[in-house]
Amino acid sequence: MTEIYTLPDLPYGYKDLEPHISEEQLKIHHQKHHLGYVKGANATFAKLEEARQSGADIDMKSTLKELSFHIGGYILHDIFWQGVSPSGGGEPGGELAEKIKQDFGGYENFRNEFTKAASSVEGSGWAVLGFCKKVDRLAVMQIEKHNVNVFPLWKILMCVDVWEHAYYLDYKNERGKFIEAFWNLVNWSYVGERFDKYSA
């Protein structure tokens, strides 16, 4: 079976996010963990295809849960890599900045809410800024284990990975320090492009 997912290249070098994310941390995160979700998704699709061809009975509930876990991990990591940059940081501009002001009352309110969401994810997961065109709203959400608490129809504009594998080499158990460092890397140009795309 042809591979459905492949590991995307990073848009920068492994050293380029230092001092906020070290070369070693980034390599392990990208080459081991993200690749793990790529392999997991492909293996689960292959398992489903094999069952279709052979007529074998498989535990569909656990298989589809496994598939959503790996696909969620793949997609969120891809957005995360694009959403940070060696030249990131600062504040958003353009239409996104206006929408943040409208929906959160200002950038600082949004940043505080997003930081609290990231800090308080139970166990492993993500903090996400999403947008829903149907209700014309931005919202901060937590996604646990890549695939729990996802809001249907809400498009992900930016996210931060708060699984320990994202920061433990650099920050040990101090998640809060990693989240603060993340703000120095946010690629607002990319986030703004996603907002423009999904709000058009």
For the stretch 75-116, pLDDT in tens is: 999 999 999 999 999 999 999 999 999 999 999 999 999 999
- Domains in the chain (CATH in brackets) are 21-200 (3.55.40.20)
Q: Please tell me the pTM assigned to this model.
A: 0.96
Helices (H), 83-152: 94-104, 107-119
For the stretch 159-194, pLDDT in tens is: 999 999 999 999 999 999 999 999 999 999 999 999
How would residue 2 be classed by pLDDT, with cut points 50, 70 and 90?
confident
- Return d(Cα 30, Cα 9) in angstroms, integer: 9
Phi and psi angles of residue 120, each rounded to the nearest 5 degrees, phi first: -105, 5
Rounded mean pLDDT, 25-47: 98
Tell which residue, 162, 102, 91, has the closest CA to residue 131. Answer: 102
Does residue 199 surpass a pLDDT of 90? yes
